[in-house]
């Protein structure tokens, strides 16, 4: 009997054709209640539309969800990811590994030492430095200037989110001498760019397991926490999982991860006026709150206005984060509520991993949007003063 069951099981794997057992699926929901139900299952959400969204699920989870919700299997996830690279990231790819990203930072600092400086906010669980580049005049001093933070790769497999902050650093430095408006932005602000918040996850995703999203700390027999569910504001209330096996695991407690702790302490020290955290995908600009679709941020209307101004440059959809779907414990809600940072999330691109040939275009229009945010800083500070 056991042999027959085993035989049937192997047949099922064969018939499904998905050797790795992961598929890209579209999941449909009728209303917010059904959406919340699905979200509480602990899966990630991409490309949200009115009554459906995209996710990556293994066969087992598809079967469980299928009994209650409408699911359409779009493709084998392997075929999508493998069309960009195999298990090892190809050196000729435009995407930067952790090591390559650090090299870019070091080269930029060498070439523009008068306005660029490397900094490290802490170490990951596996001991990798979480590295950034500061761009400002008098770069070695901590000046009393407005400050901006740009971050990529909270989520390991969202590789395009590493490229936009790198492109922003390059753009500011390369145009400093020739473009007076860029020079003004650099001179008048302190700009901090951290392309990879979660280096352990990125390494794992690029070199071992392409679907990896979380950090890499061992937790029981599983690994990793979703760092963008690990910040403390309304931690764990919505859209986050309590199971370490899930992609949106919130952690045993808020700030359980080295990378979120490091970012927290760095932000507490510098108290950023504005920030953008890059993710993918969906072509959205999200503003606080993320944790609740019934509570609006005190500065809701103004945050919305700034989002729309940025969206004019990249053509994205500007929306309150929780209106896309509620997810508590993200960096924006914490930065905004704790420090008053006007914090935004960009869901870049229209696919999990855009083709190499698309990367430049995505970077260019999103650098333009980031420049808009920098240009708006005086107006934002004025608004904060009189509100
Ligand atoms: Zn993400």
User: Which CATH number is 50's domain given?
Assistant: 3.30.70
Mean pLDDT of 106-124: 98
Quote the ligand 1 centre to 213 CA distance (angstroms).
8
Which tens digits make up the pLDDT trace of 316-350? Answer: 999 999 998 899 999 999 999 999 999 999 999 98
Whether 109 is covered by a domain: the verdict is yes
Q: What's residue 47's pLDDT?
A: 81
Quote the ligand 1 centre to 345 CA distance (angstroms).
9
pLDDT at 380 over 70: yes
Q: How confident is the model at residue 91 (pLDDT cuts 50, 70, 90)?
A: low
Are 183 and 277 found together in one domain?
A: yes
Q: How confident is the model at residue 80 (pLDDT cuts 50, 70, 90)?
A: low
Are 103 and 57 found together in one domain?
A: no
Are 300 and 151 found together in one domain?
A: yes
Whether 89 is covered by a domain: the verdict is no
Q: How confident is the model at residue 353 (pLDDT cuts 50, 70, 90)?
A: confident
Q: What's residue 137's pLDDT?
A: 98
Quote the ligand 1 centre to 114 CA distance (angstroms).
33
Quote the ligand 1 centre to 223 CA distance (angstroms).
18
Quote the ligand 1 centre to 362 CA distance (angstroms).
16
Token pair of 201 as six digits: 């996850």
72, 347, 375, 379: the active-site residue: 347
Whether 338 is covered by a domain: the verdict is yes
Are 63 and 117 found together in one domain?
A: no
Whether 25 is covered by a domain: the verdict is yes
Are 51 and 167 found together in one domain?
A: no
Q: How confident is the model at residue 310 (pLDDT cuts 50, 70, 90)?
A: very high
Are 293 and 326 found together in one domain?
A: yes
Quote the ligand 1 centre to 78 CA distance (angstroms).
19
pLDDT at 4 over 70: no
Name the residue with higher pLDDT: 66 or 217. Answer: 217
Task: Give me the percent of the chain exceeding a pLDDT of 90.
Answer: 73
Are 177 and 261 found together in one domain?
A: yes
Q: What's residue 7's pLDDT?
A: 40
Number of domains in the chain: 2
Q: How confident is the model at residue 78 (pLDDT cuts 50, 70, 90)?
A: low
Q: What's residue 83's pLDDT?
A: 46
Are 78 and 215 found together in one domain?
A: no
pLDDT at 250 over 50: yes
Give the domain range for residue 305: 98-386
Are 13 and 107 found together in one domain?
A: no
Quote the ligand 1 centre to 202 CA distance (angstroms).
12
Are 171 and 25 found together in one domain?
A: no
User: Does the annotation count 252 as an active-site position?
Assistant: no
Are 72 and 173 found together in one domain?
A: no
**Which pTM does this prediction carry?**
0.86
Mean pLDDT, the chain, integer: 90
Quote the ligand 1 centre to 47 CA distance (angstroms).
11
Domain boundary among 53, 82, 111: 82
Quote the ligand 1 centre to 327 CA distance (angstroms).
11
Which tens digits make up the pLDDT trace of 154-203? Answer: 999 999 999 999 999 999 999 999 999 999 999 999 999 999 999 999 99
Q: How confident is the model at residue 93 (pLDDT cuts 50, 70, 90)?
A: confident
């Amino acid at each position: 009997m056991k042999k027959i069951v085993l035989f049937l099981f192997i047949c099922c794997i064969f018939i499904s054709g998905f050797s790795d057992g992961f598929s890209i699926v579209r999941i449909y929901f009728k209303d917010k209640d059904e959406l919340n139900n699905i979200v509480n299952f602990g899966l990630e959400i991409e490309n949200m539309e009115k009554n459906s969204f995209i996710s990556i699920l293994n066969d087992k989870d598809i079967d469980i969800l299928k009994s209650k919700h409408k699911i359409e299997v779009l493709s084998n996830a392997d075929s999508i990811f493998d069309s960009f690279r195999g298990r090892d990231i190809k050196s000729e790819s435009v995407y930067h590994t952790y090591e390559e990203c650090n090299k870019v930072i070091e080269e930029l600092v060498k070439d523009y030492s008068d306005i660029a400086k490397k900094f490290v906010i802490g170490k990951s669980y596996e001991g990798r430095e979480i590295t950034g580049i500061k761009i400002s005049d008098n770069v070695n001093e901590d000046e009393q200037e407005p400050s901006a933070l740009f971050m990529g790769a909270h989520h390991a497999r969202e590789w395009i989110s590493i490229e936009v902050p790198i492109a922003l650093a390059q753009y500011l430095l390369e145009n400093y001498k020739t473009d007076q408006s860029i020079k003004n932005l650099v001179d008048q602000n302190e700009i901090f760019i951290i392309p990879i918040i979660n280096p352990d996850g990125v390494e794992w995703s690029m070199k071992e397991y392409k679907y990896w999203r979380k950090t890499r700390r061992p937790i029981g027999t599983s690994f990793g926490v979703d760092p963008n569910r690990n910040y403390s504001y309304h931690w764990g209330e919505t859209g986050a999982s309590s199971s370490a096996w899930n992609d949106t695991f919130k952690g045993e407690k808020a700030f359980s991860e080295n990378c979120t702790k490091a970012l927290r302490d760095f932000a507490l020290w510098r108290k950023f006026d504005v920030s953008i955290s890059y993710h993918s995908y969906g072509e959205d600009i999200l503003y606080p709150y993320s944790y609740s679709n019934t509570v609006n941020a005190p500065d809701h209307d103004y945050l919305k206005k700034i989002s729309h101004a940025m969206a004019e440059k990249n053509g994205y959809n500007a929306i309150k984060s929780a209106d896309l779907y509620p997810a508590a414990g993200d960096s924006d809600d914490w930065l905004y509520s704790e420090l008053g940072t006007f914090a935004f999330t960009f869901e870049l691109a229209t696919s999990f991993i855009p083709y190499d040939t698309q990367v430049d275009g995505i970077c260019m229009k999103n650098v333009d949007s980031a420049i808009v945010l920098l240009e708006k800083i005086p107006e934002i500070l004025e608004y904060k003063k009189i509100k």
